Chains A and B, each alone.
Chain A
Amino acid sequence: MPELIIEASRTEAHYWRDLWRYRELLGFLAWRDIKVRYQQTVLGAAWALIQPVATIAIFTFVFGRLAKMPSGGVPYVLLVMVGQLAWQLFANAFGGASGSLVGSAHLISKIYFPRLIIPLSTLAVALVDFCIVLALFAGMSAWFGNLPTWRALLLPAFILLALLLALGAGLSLAALTVKFRDFRIVLPFVLQVGVFLTPVGYRTDFLPNWRDLLALNPMTGVVEGFRWCLLAADQDFYWPSFFSSIVWTVILVVTGLWYFRRTERLFADVI
């Protein structure tokens, strides 16, 4: 018979084992979020397309046509699309994770399970939305004759990088929001500013003076990685931005997990 000891600051011992035990719940919560998102909407999956398509169209027009930024031999719309693909994955995952705890207050105050499951489960919705836009990209890509190379096989690594980055940042923000509701304001701000500080609508290799500065943004490396994987014309890999992403991701995941685990046992008391 399993024995359990409940004591102040004692959750640590069982935590990772519990997380594994509750993996089915993780699946169910993810499945719930996906199902609820697409149920009862007339257009269903089309909603996952409308917003990114609008953004892609506007960015293509503003950066490609008005500002006449160089595209490096790639149809401008594809350039923006890949940028949007990466950015949207991050933005949705980050947004979902950071709002997840407050959104699940009713569960937290009534049932025990490792709280890490809540932000983790929100990543699934971001991935589904991502796949829908990815399918659109595949079609457009074929239309423009941008055929995939072996580099596309490395895309999952960059998807993982984007998700980990979002999760790391999201964990801290989610835990902070439990106690300080005004951290909710951080999210729209980061997303609003981030979409311009990240080369979603332009490319950095034609901005030599700015390139290293932009590389400080962890999402720059992710977007450039996506382009390297998906755009046949993008041959050279820019390592500095990639390393920057890796370092940031490690820092954010470690601090995020640390702060989340530290504050987790008080969630039910303060939420």
Chain B
Amino acid sequence: MSDTDVVIRAEGLSKCYTINHAAKPGTIREAVGHNARSLWSRFRRRGGAASNEEFWALREIDFEIKQGEVVGIIGRNGAGKSTLLKILSRITEPTKGRIRLRGRLASLLEVGTGFHPELTGRDNIYLNGAILGMTRVEIARKFDEIVAFAEVDRFLDTPVKRYSSGMYVRLAFAVAAHLEPEILIVDEVLAVGDAEFQRKCLGKMEQVAGHGRTVLFVSHNIAAVQRLCSRGIYLQQGRIVAQGASHEVIDRYLRDTSSPSGKSRWNYARRSPLIEVENVELLVNGGRQNSVPAGATATFRVRYRCPAPEKLPEGLECSFIVYGQGQKLVNFWSNAGRGRSFPIASSGVISCTVPEWPFRTMPMTLQLHLNYRFDNLVDLPDALAFDSADCDRFGTGTVPHITEGILLLPHQWGES
């Protein structure tokens, strides 16, 4: 009776957002500026004006999840993961297709949804619990457990606005961790808190999964997905490109993101017959990764082949350019400063090591330039896509909010 095991079945699930180009639909004055009929159509449904563009965040998604499975949903930013979770959590409706769900579902799209800064820890446990779908009785029953897990017992009657961000996150996760739904949906919540707390959260997730509950887990933390999930679903541009055993799906994902080895995939802005790029890799603390936490040692490495090294007697200059948040963040250029050209063999490796990676959480791309004297031989704009990640660099148990700046830099204070 395999059919009775299926707790989530999605069929032809699609979600379309309308992007309005000409006028932001946010003010009625602009709506009136059209004509009364268009205004009426705006009231009736989204859009109606001519200049709307459709954006399909999800297209024809089909999958089945059986009871007790722990499924990791992976994909790059914008692949449709969050949209899928939002539809499953009933926050937004699909445009087409349907989902059948069996069992009580709770979703955790962020920790601390609905926390009110003026209320005490105790009040917020109740409030947040109710928002996540627990009953008052349930919360009361688990109250002590939640407090113990969060390690905030001394501050229970302090307004949470006075909490450190670490305490805040611990409390918020603790409430969520004590939900007991049959299906749990978790989005990237493990990306918060310090390393020790993250380990604790992972442990709790394992425990939840161990109790035969179905868990859907979205994360950029591939290691966590690998550890927790038995199955994986890999989304790319709103479509499922792979699903199945998690290690296979993860392998596929890593192949796609960290080193596009199939050379046909490279999208050269310029290439030269003199030099051929074999692969470009990111190493974090010595191991190949597609995510680098702030403070870690990051190495960019390009492996090349040169059919005729004698044609490049003066050696190559190499430049790794890092982009994030839509701008050029840094250019590591071998010829800057002391200047360096690398002598060329028929094949070899050039690497650039950043001892303390300074950037906070954001998706990044790496551009590779290989120059010979004044000529640009290779320009590879999307040599590598990777993520930079936050971590508790200074061991304070807190990470400042990303709006406080995109860098985590070592620094010293003094007074005199």
Contact = CB atoms under 8 A, between A and B. Distances in A.
Given A36-B118, A265-B93, A180 B26 contact: yes
Nearest to B113: A110
Contacts of B119: 32, 35-36, 39
Contacts of B95: 8
A203 B17 CA distance: 53
Contacts of B27: 180-182
Contact of B102 (A3, A24, A266, A270): A3
A135 B122 CA distance: 31
Contacts of A25: 130-131
A260 B116 CA distance: 26
Interface residues of A, number: 38
B100 A3 contact: yes
Contact of A9 (B93, B97, B107, B109): B93
A4 interface: yes
Given A110-B91, A112-B107, A5 B113 contact: no
Given A112-B90, A181-B27, A8 B96 contact: yes
Contact of A112 (B91, B104, B116, B159): B91
Interface size class of B (residues with CB under 8 A): 35 or more
B28 A180 contact: yes
A112 B135 contact: no
B123 interface: yes
Contacts of B127: 28-29, 32
Interface in A146-165: none
Given A25-B130, A268-B86, A5 B26 contact: no
Contacts of A180: 25-28, 31
Nearest to A263: B43
A2 B107 contact: no
B109 A6 contact: no
B17 A269 contact: yes
A5 B114 CA distance: 27
B131 A1 contact: no
B152 interface: no
Contact of B126 (A3, A28, A113): A28
Interface string B92-110: 1111111111111101011
A103 to B, nearest CB: 12
B411 interface: no
B88 interface: yes
A65 to B, nearest CB: 41
Contacts of A268: 86, 91-92
B207 to A, nearest CB: 22
Given A32-B119, A110-B109, A4 B136 contact: no
Interface string B13-42: 000010000000111110100000000000
Nearest to A104: B114
A179 interface: yes
A209 interface: no
Contacts of B102: 1-4
9 pairs of A and B residues whose beta carbons are closest in the complex: A112-B90, A28-B130, A6-B99, A7-B98, A180-B28, A4-B101, A268-B92, A110-B113, A268-B91
Given A6-B90, A35-B123, 19 more contacts: A1-B103, A1-B182, A2-B104, A4-B100, A7-B94, A7-B99, A8-B93, A10-B98, A11-B93, A24-B130, A36-B116, A39-B118, A40-B118, A106-B113, A110-B113, A113-B131, A180-B27, A181-B27, A182-B29
